Amino acid sequence: MKLSRLSDYKKANPRGKLEVLDNVYLDTKENLAAYNIPQAASTELGNVITGYLNIVERWENPHTCTPEVCQELKDYEKATDQVVVDWLIRYVMTNPFVSPAARVGMGLPAEMRKKPVPVPIPEQKVYAEISLKTSGQVEFRIFHTPQSKRVGKPAGTSGCEFCYGVGENLRPEECPYHEIVTKSIFTKVFDSEAYDVPHTARFRWFNSKGEFGPWSTAYRFTPQPEM
């Protein structure tokens, strides 16, 4: 058994726990000096394994698996699970003498926690399609590649800033209305005074750190009146 996270030890079944414990115990016992682990610490882990194995074997045997044995198993795990996790953290996971490869060989994660993946600054422009409906409804569909018409945000982005205003080919700073949108398809309803009046819309992606990508080209749209 291999643990993807150290906390998974508590969720494992008894045999899975014993497999992890045996691997750790055998590897560390053979490398006490190299890993700078005291003999007393190794003995402590060995005693936990011995007591646990005794109960698990009786629990697995249909002739000896009684309600009392089941309760004994639960009590033993309750008493030792955190002890084992603390032991692993102290003597293996945060031990500078134990390499990540050695930890993986014992069935443990390479590191205590996965290293955070840096959030990239959006580099792609937003591509959009605009559909004019009646009664001032305008549907916006945004993409991250011009080739694909599948709507969606590029990896690492949280949403899109959308700006618009009355006029043609407006620059972003000339657009009086700026909104944040997190959906790839959204609809805005414009009032009657906007009907048949050309508008400009622009878009840009942003990430979870509030960093923005480049603005899109200008998109022209004209809200339509009721039929």
* High-pLDDT (> 90) share of the chain, %: 81
* Confidence at 114, pLDDT banded by 50, 70, 90: low
Structure token pair of residue 160: 């899109």
Residue labelled with tokens 């399609």: 129
Arithmetic mean of pLDDT, 86-92: 95
Q: Of the given ranges (101-105, 133-137, 208-212), which has the lowest mean pLDDT?
A: 208-212
Dihedral (C-alpha) 27, 29, 34, 38: value to the nearest 10 degrees? 140
The number of beta carbons lying within 10 Å of the beta carbon of residue 161 is 18
In DSSP terms, 185 is beta-bridged to: 141
Does residue 20 surpass a pLDDT of 90?
yes
- For the record, the structure tokens of 60 come out as 């697995």
pLDDT for 115 beyond 70: no
Over range 175-188, report the average pLDDT: 94
* C-alpha span between 77 and 55 (Å, rounded): 10
Q: What is the DSSP letter of 7?
A: G
The full DSSP string for 27-86 is: HHHHTHHHHT--HHHHHHHHHHHHHHHHHHHHHH-TTT--HHHHHHHHHHHHHHHHHHHH
150 versus 167: which is more confidently predicted?
167
* Whether this model's pTM surpasses 0.75: no
Q: State mean pLDDT over 207-227.
A: 92
Decide if 157 contacts 209 (C-beta within 8 A).
Answer: no
Higher-confidence residue of 164 and 120: namely 164
Tokens linked to 27: 């590897």
> For position 210, what pLDDT does the model report?
86
Distance between CA 197 and CA 128 in Å, rounded? Answer: 20
All domains of the chain, ordered by start, with CATH? 6-105 (no CATH), 127-221 (2.60.40.10)
pLDDT at 145: 85
Mapped onto helix, strand or coil, the DSSP state of residue 166 is strand
CA distance readout (Å), 187 to 29, 176, 190: 65, 18, 10
Per the listing, tokens 């009684």 go with 66
One-letter amino acid of 3: L
pLDDT for residue 95 is more than 80: yes
